[in-house]
Amino acid sequence: MRDVLRLAGVLMLISALSGGALFVAYRLTSPRIGAETEARKQEALKQVLPAASGFIDRTGDARRLLTQPEFADVREVWEGRSLGTRVGWGILVAPRGYGGPVVTLVGVEAGGRVAGVRVVSASHETPGLGTRVGEPAFLAQFRGLKPPPLVVVRSRPEQRGEVQAVTGATVSSRAVAQAVLVAAGLAERLGRQ
Amino acid sequence: MAHPGRDLLKGLILENPVFGLVLGLCPTLAVTTGLSEGFWMGVAVVFVLTLSNGLISALRRFIPDHVRIPAFIVIIATFVTVADLALHAVLPGVYRVLGLFVPLIVVNCIILGRAEAFASKSPLRRSLADGLGMGLGFMGALIAISAVRELLGTGNLAVGGLRLLGEGPAFPPALVMALPPGAFFTIGALLALFRWARGAARGGVRRRRS
């Protein structure tokens, strides 16, 4: 009996000390982690829509539109503003890729032109292949397009609205293109309101 | 072998965790697609392995035999979580690349392996040396594997953002090397090379003695 109490006591003590250490570590790091996450969001939005000086979260306002099936993959809607006027939208879309959602941030100008695209997370894609859809060379192809149309091709693009897939990662590339298409459609609908 | 210096050195080469003991292969396969991934994963493992070995050694008379494994796991998990939080706060860019594989250090067998085989029955200084040596040996193996895979898989090698072979691939890359089979090919080849070199070194010593 005494032995059981000793075993449990030691384990309890070690776990309690571990909990205490983790509390301290969490308290020390959480302000920086929180600030870093927030700053990264604003910075990422600014990268896909450089014309805007600030962003307002409009996800709640767009709730009714987002219930429609074509916008089911949309996660966040941000309105980009500059000098008191709307200059475009930053829209976070997560279509299904090869292994899971490819979380993509798309900047769409008020006129419907794609200003920039950024892959926020492609962690379920094949490392070294599908994850390369985050590279600038692939994403730069979307800039200036006005979808639809938007088609992913394997060879060099020949027509307007075509982008070349990352070699060996056609499915992941299509997910990004799908995100851009959805975002452009949503921006168009939001602009009409 | 009662010398901390020896404990440190054995992990680097003779009992290298990956090529000598063939332990902890899960991250060795998963996060060696590129040189920087391999390097930072190695840093996280050195941190966890050294500190968990030290603390377990310091508490070895206090922890009853019957509950030693759960006690070790709690201690290891604590250091891993601290490493995870610290990496996220200090080096967010690296944290994003490694992702899930930092928390997975908890179940890396090399860490629990050293706790059970060494730290739980050795004095503090020797256990710290053992943890550091094993950690550095592991890191060296990750760097070697990821360098080979990045070079053959992308046709180039980047060190700190600097591409060593000029812009773009220097030769047509073999995509398979960036994929999981490439990890097995590389580990197999390096393991064979390591064993051969070790055997040759031992044979050489024996011949010189006779």
Residue B11 C-alpha, separation from nearest chain A C-alpha, in angstroms: 28
Q: B99 contacts in A (CB within 8 Å)?
A: 123
Q: Which of A177, A173, A163 is nearest to A130 (CA)?
A: A173
Residues whose CB falls within 8 Å of the CB of residue B151, separated by 6 or more in sequence, listed in order: B157
pTM of this structure: 0.69
SS3 A115: strand
Q: A11 contacts in B (CB within 8 Å)?
A: 67, 70-71, 74
- The full set of domain ranges for chain A reads 49-192
Instruction: Quickly list DSSP for A49-71.
Output: -TT-SEEEE-TTTTHHHHTSGGG
Residue A83 C-alpha, separation from nearest chain B C-alpha, in angstroms: 32
Look at residue B8 and tell me if it is in a domain. yes
DSSP bridge pairs for A55? A80
- Answer whether residue A69 shows pLDDT above 60: yes
- Give CA separation, A165 vs A128, A139, A170, A172, A176, in Å: 14, 10, 5, 8, 10
Look at residue B208 and tell me if it is in a domain. no
User: What single-letter amino acid sits at A165?
Assistant: A
Provide the domain limits for residue B103. Answer: 4-203
Q: Do A14 and B75 touch (CB under 8 A)?
A: yes
Look at residue B152 and tell me if it is in a domain. yes
Q: What is the pLDDT of residue A140?
A: 86
Domain count, chain B: 1
Burial of residue A50 (CB within 10 Å: 0-12, 13-18, 19+) is: middle
Return mean pLDDT, chain A: 87
The structure tokens listed for B155 are: 């046709």
User: What single-letter amino acid sits at A2?
Assistant: R
Q: B179 contacts in A (CB within 8 Å)?
A: 126-129
Look at residue B209 and tell me if it is in a domain. no
Q: What is the pLDDT of residue B207?
A: 54
Q: Do A7 and B67 touch (CB under 8 A)?
A: yes
Q: Which of A129, A50, A58 is nearest to A91 (CA)?
A: A58
Look at residue B210 and tell me if it is in a domain. no
- Answer whether residue A192 shows pLDDT above 80: no
CA dihedral B197, B201, B202, B205 (to 10 degrees): 170
**Chain A residue with minimum CA distance to B83:** A25
**pLDDT block averages, 10 residues each, chain B of length 210:** 78 84 82 85 93 94 90 94 91 81 87 91 92 94 92 82 73 84 92 88 60
Look at residue B139 and tell me if it is in a domain. yes
Q: Do A10 and B64 touch (CB under 8 A)?
A: yes
Residues whose CB falls within 8 Å of the CB of residue A58, separated by 6 or more in sequence, listed in order: A77, A78, A79, A89, A190
Look at residue B156 and tell me if it is in a domain. yes
pLDDT single digits (tens) A12-63: 999 999 999 999 999 999 999 888 887 888 888 888 899 888 888 888 888 8
Cα–Cα distance, B77 to A81 (Å, whole number) = 45
Look at residue B38 and tell me if it is in a domain. yes
pLDDT single digits (tens) A95-137: 998 888 889 999 999 888 889 998 888 877 887 788 888 888 8
Cα–Cα distance, A15 to A17 (Å, whole number) = 5
* Contact B99/A at CB under 8 A: yes
